A and B are shown apart, each in its own frame.
Chain A
Amino acid sequence: MAALIATVMFFSAAHSVEEKYLSVYSPVATYTLPVLERSGHEYVGLLELLEPLGRVSSESNGHLLKLSYNAIDAEFVAGKTRGRIHGRDFEFSSPFIIENSRGFVPVGSLSALLSRFVGAQVNFRESARRLFIGDIGIQPSFHLDAGDPPKLVISFSAPVNPTIATAPGELRMLFKRDPVVSPGSQSISFDDKIITRATYSENNGVAEFAIATSQPLMASFSGDRKTITLSATQQPTTSNGTPSGVSNGSPPPNPPAAAASVTAAAVPGNPVSAPRRPLAVVDPAHGGDERGAALSDSLAEKDVTLGFARLLRHELETRGFAVALTRDSDTGLTLDQRAAAANGDHAAIYISLHADSLGTGARVYTSLLPVEGGAKGEFRAWNSAQAPALEISRAVSAAIGGELQKNAFPVRTASASLRPLNNVFVPAVAVELAPGPGGVADLTSANYQQRAAAAIADGVVSVRDRLGVQP
């Protein structure tokens, strides 16, 4: 019996271990990195940290990592706390690590490390694992309009896109990709019976406002997404006019017990009028236990696609797209989840990224639709959801192929029976990156990936009018 209890406790504890993340906010990119623990210290991948910020190339022999970031050269030795950046020594707080030819740096040294590389002011909130490069923090301010019903107006110094969730007695706004900072005080109280308090916290790379409320709140956005207005909704009433579930003298009711989570864009009544940046969903194929193709003895397709996706995100963001990665760490997703990510957000374009050691250059695929399917009234078969967008997808494929060719990539465009392309109802392509003249090593070369990512982004931009995007 004791063994059974111990086993249950062990698995409960194991299940509750939270994955750790670090969020980086900079003027050129916002991204999240997985945090690893080694010998009691926290680490993040060095290339993954620098790639979204600029041009990176690197080589490693498993013991020594040589890296070039823009015009800055650096060298780091596995197991050593001392490295060299731009000809000067740099001291890590714990030893540098190389695993599978990838370098990892201690989280405790990030502030000093990035200052040396990017030469900008770096503010690292280490306990929350939120790293700000430059003065880009978004300041919130609160104003309570004590009417009937009351409204809490939260103004931000820049557009925000939080995930909003409701739970009994509170509404939570999670800022995963916005560099929102504290309003000055961790907790703000309001002189109102319904909306009583706003509490700020930040943890594991995410900032959060929890709004204490005794009634369900409705969120709406305005002012180019710089303002969020939370209004108390009217309580549903029973036939005798009493708020449901409430008797006289009882405490005010809580919002529905079942927690609900919606993205800000899906909040009903959203009165956004300013044009939003078009959304590109970039899907690094495979992940987690699904390694994809074995590109070499130690290199898995899932790792190449993730790094490639981060570079493509940067390239698309600099060309005016908002970009969502289906995964930003080594996690597994089903094919249906990947399709749902594009469909749910009504993306302008869905790009699935693959890598293969076979052949050279790159291959761009569109869906090879199956026999079954076709529309049934307003419903379309899941396996042929791509049909209405296929023509535009082919135009995107041709444009990407043309840009890759301009950049000296041997290119093939073709159709493939490849999920989840068939299940995506927005324009969708898959790009399979193959080695260049340098062989399989090219697949991990930041320079090679960067050229491919820039060409793909140029291709997408060249047909943005066909994607329904204003130039």
Chain B
Amino acid sequence: MIPRSLLIGVAILLLLVVAMGVYLRQMRRRAGELDSPAAALLPVAPPPSGPTETVTLYVADDAAGTLRARAAQIPLPGGRQQRAEELLRALLRIYQQPGSPHPLPPASDIRSIFLVDPGAAVIDLNAPFADQHRSGILSEQLTVNSLVETLAVNVPGIQRVNILVEGKTRETLAGHADLTQTFDVPTLEQAANQQ
């Protein structure tokens, strides 16, 4: 005859094993969701809210081969660096919409922007931005011009811009546009005006 206390103890242990199994399964599912590509596409931080400002975005148009100035109302945070990042993210959202005049990969993002010196800015792109960018002189140059001019027009004082990818210097954006050089804003604007 098995003692009653032993039976109760075994039953409790079995219940605990089942409960732990259910909990483990839930944890695994949650971890899988976090690792999925869909999760990676989510913005790291929520878009800023609050009062909006009118800015000028220089939007590339592949068909025309030029930039078009477009006024936009976007919420901007207070800090100068955060403003610059949100500005370019607003530009990217245009490029990532269906029917964009200059499509960019959905996973493209601005990792950060450093305003390191009076007049100098460093734009750090994420890897998908460059890895999945369309290859070609026109397309790549329009992307560079669009980023640099949008930044320079809306963040006063920026005269020189460098572009990094994942924090490192990269030879070209997608096989053509030279990212090893420093872009001189007046030179770029002058070249864009001549086109």
Flag if A368 contacts B135 (CB, 8 Å). Answer: no
> Shortest distance in angstroms between A363's beta carbon and chain B's nearest beta carbon?
6
Complex Cα–Cα for A430 and B180 (A): 19
Flag if A370 contacts B181 (CB, 8 Å). Answer: yes
Q: Tell me which residues across on chain A come within 8 A of B62, comparing CB atoms.
A: 358-359
Complex Cα–Cα for A445 and B159 (A): 44
Q: Tell me which residues across on chain B come within 8 A of A294, comparing CB atoms.
A: 135
Report B159-186 residues with CB < 8 Å from chain A CB: 160, 171-172, 175-178, 180-184
Specify the chain B residue showing the minimal Cβ separation from A366.
B191
A382-401 CB mask vs B (1 if < 8 Å, else 0) is 01000000000000000000
Question: Which of the residues B172, B176, B177, B191 comes within 8 Å of A414, measured between beta carbons?
Answer: B191
Q: Tell me which residues across on chain A come within 8 A of B41, comparing CB atoms.
A: none
A327-345 CB mask vs B (1 if < 8 Å, else 0) is 0000000010000000000
Complex Cα–Cα for A330 and B123 (A): 35
B137 within 8 A of A: yes
B139 within 8 A of A: yes
Q: Tell me which residues across on chain A come within 8 A of B187, comparing CB atoms.
A: 368-369, 371
A286 within 8 A of B: yes
Max chain A CB contacts within 10 Å: which of B135, B136, B188? B136
Q: Tell me which residues across on chain B come within 8 A of A369, comparing CB atoms.
A: 187
Flag if B160 contacts A414 (CB, 8 Å). Answer: no
A407-436 CB mask vs B (1 if < 8 Å, else 0) is 000001011111100100000001010000
Specify the chain B residue showing the minimal Cβ separation from A419.
B178
- Beyond A335-B171, A417-B144, is A371–B139 a contact (Cβ under 8 Å)? no
B126 within 8 A of A: no
Flag if A417 contacts B175 (CB, 8 Å). Answer: no
B194 within 8 A of A: yes
- Closest 4 pairs between A and B when the two form their complex, measured CB to CB: A370-B181, A356-B136, A293-B135, A415-B191
A345-377 CB mask vs B (1 if < 8 Å, else 0) is 000000000101111000101001111100000
Specify the chain A residue showing the minimal Cβ separation from B137.
A432
A301 within 8 A of B: yes
Q: Tell me which residues across on chain A come within 8 A of B63, comparing CB atoms.
A: 359
Q: Tell me which residues across on chain B come within 8 A of A370, comparing CB atoms.
A: 181-184
Max chain B CB contacts within 10 Å: which of A290, A368, A418, A422? A368
Complex Cα–Cα for A97 and B184 (A): 51
Flag if B175 contacts A293 (CB, 8 Å). Answer: yes
Complex Cα–Cα for A301 and B137 (A): 12
A159 within 8 A of B: no
> Shortest distance in angstroms between B168's beta carbon and chain A's nearest beta carbon?
17
Complex Cα–Cα for A363 and B176 (A): 14
Specify the chain B residue showing the minimal Cβ separation from A357.
B136
Complex Cα–Cα for A422 and B176 (A): 13
- Beyond A416-B177, A422-B181, is A301–B135 a contact (Cβ under 8 Å)? yes
A140 within 8 A of B: no
Complex Cα–Cα for A215 and B119 (A): 62
A292 within 8 A of B: yes
B12 within 8 A of A: no
- Beyond A370-B182, A414-B191, A417-B144, is A356–B138 a contact (Cβ under 8 Å)? yes
Max chain B CB contacts within 10 Å: which of A335, A354, A357, A416? A416
Complex Cα–Cα for A227 and B109 (A): 63
Specify the chain A residue showing the minimal Cβ separation from B163.
A417
A-B CB pair tally, cutoff 8 Å: 84
Complex Cα–Cα for A369 and B181 (A): 9
> Shortest distance in angstroms between B34's beta carbon and chain A's nearest beta carbon?
33
> Shortest distance in angstroms between B179's beta carbon and chain A's nearest beta carbon?
8
B195 within 8 A of A: yes
B122-166 CB mask vs A (1 if < 8 Å, else 0) is 000000000000111111010010000000000000001000000
> Shortest distance in angstroms between B176's beta carbon and chain A's nearest beta carbon?
6
B17-38 CB mask vs A (1 if < 8 Å, else 0) is 0000000000000000000000
Complex Cα–Cα for A160 and B138 (A): 41
Specify the chain B residue showing the minimal Cβ separation from A416.
B141
- Beyond A370-B184, A371-B182, is A363–B194 a contact (Cβ under 8 Å)? no
Specify the chain B residue showing the minimal Cβ separation from A370.
B181
Flag if A354 contacts B137 (CB, 8 Å). Answer: yes
Flag if A358 contacts B181 (CB, 8 Å). Answer: no
Flag if A358 contacts B141 (CB, 8 Å). Answer: no
B47 within 8 A of A: no
B106 within 8 A of A: no
Q: Tell me which residues across on chain A come within 8 A of B48, comparing CB atoms.
A: none
Q: Tell me which residues across on chain B come within 8 A of A416, comparing CB atoms.
A: 137, 141, 176-177
Complex Cα–Cα for A44 and B134 (A): 32
> Shortest distance in angstroms between B130's beta carbon and chain A's nearest beta carbon?
14
Flag if B177 contacts A372 (CB, 8 Å). Answer: no
Told that A292-B175, A354-B137, A370-B184 touch, could you supply 20 new A-B pairs with CB distance under 8 A? Answer: A293-B175, A354-B176, A358-B62, A359-B65, A359-B138, A368-B187, A368-B191, A371-B181, A371-B184, A371-B187, A372-B182, A383-B181, A412-B195, A414-B65, A414-B194, A416-B176, A417-B144, A418-B176, A419-B180, A432-B136
B50-64 CB mask vs A (1 if < 8 Å, else 0) is 000000000000110
Flag if A412 contacts B177 (CB, 8 Å). Answer: no
Question: Which of the residues B138, B172, B183 comes within 8 Å of A432, measured between beta carbons?
Answer: B138
Max chain A CB contacts within 10 Å: which of B171, B176, B194? B176
Flag if B181 contacts A418 (CB, 8 Å). Answer: no
Specify the chain A residue showing the minimal Cβ separation from B185.
A371
Specify the chain B residue showing the minimal Cβ separation from A383.
B181
